[in-house]
Amino acid sequence: MTTFTYTITHPLGLHARPAALLTDLCKSLSSQITITKGDQMISATRLVPLLLLEVKQDDTISVALEGPQETEEAQTLLAYFQENL
């Protein structure tokens, strides 16, 4: 399992458009991906639960990947967060 944390810097937080793009990206990867905020953990491939996390600016989330290419895919996801959130 590969994990990383990320603090959201975008003023609108994890809002609808980047959340939809994130779920699409996660669906295209081979790893099982979960996102955790506080005590809530959801699958990163499901848009509504992701939006219900209500991730705001300065919130820190944890992303966990499990799969044969988890290390490479973690770098892909981290790059997405850095560019969009």
Query: What's the pTM?
Result: 0.91
- CA–CA separation, 8 and 20 (whole Å): 16
Domain boundaries of the chain, sorted by first residue: 2-84
Mean pLDDT in each 10-residue stretch from start to end of the chain (85 residues)?
96 94 96 97 96 96 96 96 93
Report the CATH superfamily, name and number, of domain 2-84.
Answer: HPr-like (3.30.1340.10)
* Type and span of the H or E element at 23: helix 16-28
Q: Is 35 exposed, middle or buried (0-12, 13-18, 19+ CB in 10 A)?
A: buried
- Using an 8 Å Cβ cutoff, are 65 and 32 in contact? yes
